[in-house]
Every structure is written in structure tokens, then in C-alpha cells.
Amino acid sequence: MRASFLLGVLLMIGCTESSESLDGAGGEGPTAPPTSVGVIELSSDPLSVKSPGGSSRLSAYFGSEPEINCGLIHEAGSCKTTGCNFFLQPEVTAKDSAGELSVSGVFEATADEDMPGIYSLGRSATLWQPEGEVTVTASGDVVPAFEVSLQTGAMFETPGWQEERSQSLAEDFVASFTPFEGRVRLDFVTAVGGDGPSYFIACDFDGASGEVRIPAESFAALDSPQPLDSGVLWLSSRASTELVAGDYAITVTADTMVAWTSLSLSE
């Protein structure tokens, strides 16, 4: 579970678009900047091949800034290339429970018994409709109680998108979609081989652009000690917000999966 949670945290770095300040306890906002963090990642995949009714996932963390053995390698436009070795990760020391987390009143998660500030739960159903609303509520504990709602992203068309595709590391990856009003998230993850590092390319785009692009220089930055021959790429519409609850600066994202593809990589 730890590796999957760290992956979720990593893919959320630098991806929020809007913010609001809330005091989860119902009083005035904090007088000093928050010293702890909260990260809540929601994903809904209505196209899941493993679950006819779709699938959803919640991952959350509350505590001090996590120490992650990862590093930003390269940044080109809206794309960030990061390397991360999950086999050399320090122990996660989250200790701050937020009580029970509820998503729109139908999806409830309690913290890990050994690490009270970490939540991870999946289910075989979608949690929201595209262009709908999702609400996250925390009953409160060490982290004050709070509630926040997001308008979820759209399901847009992706003509020509292929479930399998060859990609030269020396060329841009380019794909088109039907323009819409909102944000698009593109995540590329290399396959994990042995005990070596994994690489991630995360990009954000304006939905009005109608195009996603990973520059060749982002692929060139994948300085792997082992040959990279495959990876997976996800395309999602993203909603995000930030809030403050007590001493916690909390980031919430909700990704609606639109398409994915398996990339066969070559020099």
C-alpha cells in the first residue's frame, strides 16, 4: 500500500488550480501558516475493463510533509519528469487521523491502524458522474472536521486514441481530443523493473487546447540505468481545490479517467 500511496502523492505535486481557506472547526481561519499537510486523491474510472460498473479509489495522507526518495529531473512546458525509487523509500510516519473520510455519503474510509494518517480504499463502482459534484467530509480527530465539494471534470472524446501505441523516445508524444472547458491531466509511468527506479511524466493542459503533448526532451530526461521498453499513459479530466483546516493545508483532487494507452518505447 505504501508504494501506491507514494505514487499518488507524487503524481499530485504542483497540480492544484484553485484554493479556498476554511477552518474545519467552524471558527476564524488560522493566524499562522499551516505547518502540516493533507493530500486527498480521488479517482473514478468509468471505463474500467476489470469492473463493468467502473471503479473508484481514495488515497489520503495527513501529517508532516512526507519524505519521498524522488526528485524532479526535468521540466518542459507543463510537463514534469520525476524519478523515484520505491524500493529505497523512508518509512512514512503520518500520525494524524482525520477520523472517518466520507465521499458523497456513499464511500467511507477509516485510517490504517498502524499509520493513522493514511487512508487507502477502492471500490467497484464510480463515485460521481462526469460534470457532476463530489463532496469529501472528514468527521475529525487530530485533523479538525471539514467538508469540501468539487465540480468534477467532463468525459471528452479522444478520436484516434489507441490502447497500444509505439513511441520513439526521440519524438514528441501527441494526441488530440475534443476541446472542452476544464483541465486535462496526462500521466506517464514507466514499468518498474527489478529494484531500479521508476519514472513519471506528469502534464497539465487547458481543455480548450484540444491537444496533449509530451515533448521529446521529457522522454530524453528519463536517464534510466536500465533500458526502458514500456510504460502506461493515463488521460483524465481533473478538478482540484485547496483548503485549510486548523493547522493543515489540504489539497484535494478528483480525476475522471477518460482514456489510457500502453506505450511500447524505442530509441
The string of DSSP codes covering 128-168 is S-TTSEEEEEE--SSSPPEEEEEE-------TT--SEEEEE
Residues with Cβ within 8 Å of 108's Cβ and at least 6 positions away in sequence, in order, are 100, 101, 102
Q: From CA 28, how far away is CA 144, in angstroms rounded? A: 13
Hey, what's the cell of 153? 471534470
Residues with Cβ within 8 Å of 21's Cβ and at least 6 positions away in sequence, in order, are 29, 243, 244
CB 175 within 8 A of CB 162: no
| Location of C-alpha cell 481561519 | 29
Q: From CA 104, how far away is CA 133, in angstroms rounded? A: 8
Q: What is the average per-residue pLDDT within 160-182?
A: 89
Q: From CA 120, how far away is CA 59, in angstroms rounded? A: 5
Does the structure show a pLDDT above 90 at 223?
A: no
SS3 103: strand
Give residue-wise pLDDT tens across range 179-219: 998 999 999 988 655 566 778 899 999 999 999 999 999 98
Which has the closest alpha carbon to 184: 165, 203, 201?
Answer: 203
158 vs 20, higher pLDDT: 158
The fraction of the chain above a pLDDT of 90, given in percent, is 33
Does the structure show a pLDDT above 90 at 34?
A: no
Q: Global pTM? A: 0.80
Which has the closest alpha carbon to 253: 4, 8, 1, 48?
Answer: 8
Residues with Cβ within 8 Å of 113's Cβ and at least 6 positions away in sequence, in order, are none
Q: Give the distance, in angstroms, between the CA of residue 241 and the centroid of all CA atoms in the same chain.
A: 13
Q: From CA 23, how far away is CA 151, in angstroms rounded? A: 21
CB 42 within 8 A of CB 123: no
SS3 64: coil
What is the pLDDT confidence band of residue 22, given thresholds at 50, 70 and 90? very low
62-96 as b/e: b if 16+ CB within 10 A: bbeebebebeebbebebbbbbbbebeebeebebeb
Does the structure show a pLDDT above 80 at 165?
A: yes
Does the structure show a pLDDT above 50 at 20?
A: no
Does the structure show a pLDDT above 80 at 17?
A: no
CB 89 within 8 A of CB 71: no
Hey, what's the cell of 62? 495527513
Residue-level pLDDT at 18: 38
What is the pLDDT confidence band of residue 123, given thresholds at 50, 70 and 90? confident
Does the structure show a pLDDT above 60 at 41?
A: yes
Bridge partners, residue 57, by sequence: 43, 122
243 vs 15, higher pLDDT: 243
Residue-level pLDDT at 254: 92
Residue-level pLDDT at 25: 43
Residue-level pLDDT at 132: 86
Residue-level pLDDT at 86: 58
Q: From CA 150, how far away is CA 95, in angstroms rounded? A: 27
